Every structure is written in structure tokens, then in C-alpha cells.
Structure 1
Amino acid sequence: MRYMLLIYVNEASMAAAPTEKTYEISAAYGAYTEALKKSGSWLAGDRLKPTQAATSVRMANGKTNVLDGPYADTKEQLAGFYMIEAEDADAAIAWAARCPAASTGTVEVRPIWEQTM
């Protein structure tokens, strides 16, 4: 079964981190990604640009409303994702617990709703 691991972090804290800490975090993500790939669980993943680069789109009364930035003002922002293959939710949760973001932010584990057409 496929799962999304949605990574939420505090953008302001990440931006303010010293260079040495940024390299340390980057290395941790590199090792985590490599472990996912070696296990055969990795399907996709990437980092997202900060929320200032986001655009939110909504339809209201047949009109498209476009807003600069994220829709919600939250303490943590969606910073990236991994799409993985896991035997079950427990296996996906185990991978989420190993993600570097689990110790500084939140990793949301969400099963993918498989489309059948």
C-alpha cells in the first residue's frame, strides 16, 4: 500500500538555523532517503519551497479566487513529502518515526486512496 509522509516544520526556525545545523539536517535527510531507497520503500519525495512561494486557489460562486501564500496560518508549514510503499500502517508509521522531521516537527502519515478506473 502507498502512503504519503507529509513533513511539517516551522519555516522561521529552519531559516534561522546556523549553517552547521543546516548541513547536519541535510545529511540526516540524505541518510534517511538512502535508507528508504535501499529498502525498496521509496517511491518519490521532494522538498517544497517556503510558503511565501505558495499560491492558494479556491472556487466560490463560479469564480476563481487566487491568493498569494498558504491558505492556513499555522505554526508548522508543509515543507516536503515522501511517497512510500509499506506493508501496512504500522510499517509506514515506523518509517515516519525515522524521518528527521519527526524530532523537530511533525510527519503526517496518510494512506493514498488508490483510484480504480
Structure 2
Amino acid sequence: MTYYLLSVVQPTGGEPPPPDELDEIMRSVAAFNDELREAGVWVFSGGLHAPETATVLRPEDGEVLITDGPYAEGKEYLGGLCLIRAGDLDEALDWGRKAALATTLPIEVRPFADAH
């Protein structure tokens, strides 16, 4: 089994969905997480606050500089993540498809390097 990171790609700016739509999305995400647990592939999942809440630590000349985030400006940011164990990339992509449908957002699927 290999560990895979399912990253939720959140667009910057824009308004969140109306409360009734957001409630439905959150129910779908909860059902997706339950399905992951029942299948025995779930390791961890969670949402993240907006990038403006980040703090960046950068090494420089033997010291560490601390600045308010985000690390990079962009049109998208990491909005949440799910760590799973899957037998192969195809299985991980199947879970990624389910995550995309549950969240209504793009999902990036990446294997961990040399982690089994």
C-alpha cells in the first residue's frame, strides 16, 4: 500500500456557496470520509483556513525569518487535504474522483515519495 495525498484546490477570492449549498457539500464530504473509513483506506483529512492565516518561516544566514503568509500568491490555494492508503494510482484516482464530486472542487492526487 502507498500513501497518497488528495489535495483540495480552492479558488481564491469569490464568495463561498450559499448556506444551503454549503450544507449539502459538507454532508457529501462527511459521507465521503465515512466511505474512506469503511474501506480501510482513510488515514487523515481536514480543511484549512484561508492562506491569509498562514505564517511562513524561511531559513536565512543561519536564522529563521518569520513573515505573515501566504508563501505564494496565486489564483488557487490548498483548501484541505485527505491522506489515504491505496494499492495503486488507479485506486487513488478513484478516491480522488469521489472527493471531487463530494467537494465540487478540483482534487490533486499525489503519491508520497518512498512511503509505503
Q: Given the two structures, how large is their TM-score scaled by the length of structure 1? A: 0.85
Instruction: Say which SS state the counterpart of residue 72 (structure 1) adopts.
Output: coil
TM-superposed CA distance for 1:102, in Å, is 7.8
Instruction: Say which SS state the counterpart of residue 71 (structure 2) adopts.
Output: coil
Amino acid at match of 1:2: Y
Aligned partner of 2:62 in structure 1 is 62
Aligned partner of 1:7 in structure 2 is 8
TM-superposed CA distance for 1:103, in Å, is 6.9
Aligned partner of 2:37 in structure 1 is 37
Aligned partner of 2:51 in structure 1 is 51
* Residues 91 and 74 (structure 1), Cα distance of their counterparts in 2 relative to 1, 3 Å cut: same
Instruction: Say which SS state the counterpart of residue 12 (structure 1) adopts.
Output: coil
TM-superposed CA distance for 1:106, in Å, is 2.4
Identify unmatched segments of 5+ residues in structure 1.
none
* Residues 3 and 97 (structure 1), Cα distance of their counterparts in 2 relative to 1, 3 Å cut: same
TM-superposed CA distance for 1:64, in Å, is 1.3
Instruction: Say which SS state the counterpart of residue 35 (structure 2) adopts.
Output: helix
* Residues 30 and 103 (structure 1), Cα distance of their counterparts in 2 relative to 1, 3 Å cut: closer
How does 1:100-111 map onto structure 2 within 5 Å? 100=100, 104-111=104-111
Whether contact under 8 Å (2:29, 2:103) holds in the other structure is: no
String of CA shifts for 1:38-80, please: whole Å, max 9, x gaps.
1111111111111121111111222212121211111111011
Identify unmatched segments of 5+ residues in structure 2.
none
* Residues 73 and 101 (structure 1), Cα distance of their counterparts in 2 relative to 1, 3 Å cut: farther
TM-superposed CA distance for 1:6, in Å, is 1.3
Q: Given the two structures, how large is their TM-score scaled by the length of structure 2? A: 0.86
Identity within the alignment, %: 30
